[in-house]
A = this chain, B = another copy of it.
């Protein structure tokens, strides 16, 4: 988990679970799908247990098994309705096997107890195969949801490992492996304990195989454990790293810069200012927009940019009357910029080419002789409109008093957009004129 503390992970997992609840819709799971899904998991868990315990005929299992058969048959009808004859492939066979109540048939008097009954009892394990559907689900969810794929992998990963451990423990019961376990444990407890001890490669050795059958089973479990372990470890790093890709990259950059500055003995105070800059950049999430947007086709780009910047534009009193279409045109011409405390946005006498929308932060407009502050502008204000409207040099110097997150609108883009919206154009000119009069009076 490079650069992601356990605390963040917990948050991430927590909010992800919330998401799971609120997004069943998004995941394409109606109530019916959830029922079918739970039925499938139930079969995967209970069938192996039923197969190894001959005398496990609790009423509720029989009822559940029957209900699930009905549910799955109903689901097959639904699927056939949706897919038509395209349904009769491999999945159809799997669905039929899962829907057939082998375990109930084996309990029918006359069959129960006979060798045919024993075979049917084993065949009931075929119902487990349906759990492979979850692979399909996992693959679909990976691309179709906004859920963090790393969290999704983590959840499925845990599920599969738990299920495999359960299966291995069931097999160990079938081989009577629990008999060499501690006397004070139930067979399943003893078998699961052996499974976990072996799969995690801890290997206490208090339960060891007796006879060739158990020995071969143990060797297979060990080999599987080693492979799974390798697989898990190989995955964990990338998994956790991906929990928060973008933050990771940010921290790595700070890391490198820190290293460089320490190495070149840059003074502490200056180091702190450089770090401040990067952290401000991160907190305000600037700079990610550009990268993200240029990958998209234009229609989507406009919509994303509009979502991100509309709030800013609507803060500007000037545009309050402007319509949707105006914003659509404008957003693509905005360029995000950052100014540091004390940095100059515009200097008196220079020719200006840009109007600045102050998204967040505070700037000071200085008098002509730079002796006093005429105005303090902040979030939602704009500055620099005079030089844009007429070809005059900047009348005042403007400096940032704190970190400022600013959107700059270049003259060319400005003119192009305004030309299409005469009513907004008029409004802009009116306000600009007002300001010009104000500043003339003051001087």
Number of copies: 4
Chain B residues with CB under 8 Å of A285's CB are 263-264
**Known contacts A263-B285, A266-B307; A146/B233 CB under 8 A:** no
Stretch of A3-11, A64-72, A107-115, A117-125 on the interface side: A3-11
A223 to B190, CA, bound (A): 16
CB distance from A54 to the nearest CB of B (A): 23
Q: Restricting to A238-287, which residues have a CB under 8 Å from any CB of B?
A: 238-242, 244-246, 251-264, 266-268, 270-275, 277-279, 282, 285
| B6→A160 contact, CB < 8 A | yes
Partner of A2, one of B135, B235, B251: B235
- How many residues of A are in contact with the other chain, CB < 8 A? 119
A278 closest partner in B (C-beta):
B143
Chain B residues with CB under 8 Å of A227's CB are 232, 236
Q: Does A209 contact B (CB under 8 A)?
A: yes
Which residues of A are in contact with B by a Cβ distance under 8 Å? Answer: 1-3, 5-8, 26, 132, 135-136, 138-139, 142-144, 146-150, 153, 156, 160, 182, 184-186, 189-190, 192-193, 196-206, 208-212, 215-216, 218-219, 222-223, 225-227, 229-242, 244-246, 251-264, 266-268, 270-275, 277-279, 282, 285, 288, 292, 295-300, 303-304, 307-308, 338-340, 342-343
10 extra interface residue pairs, beta carbon distance < 8 Å, beyond A2-B153, A246-B259, A266-B304: A1-B235, A6-B160, A144-B275, A146-B261, A148-B255, A199-B226, A204-B204, A229-B230, A264-B308, A299-B340
A276 closest partner in B (C-beta):
B144
Chain B residues with CB under 8 Å of A138's CB are 5, 7
Chain A interface main SS type = helix
| A146→B262 contact, CB < 8 A | yes
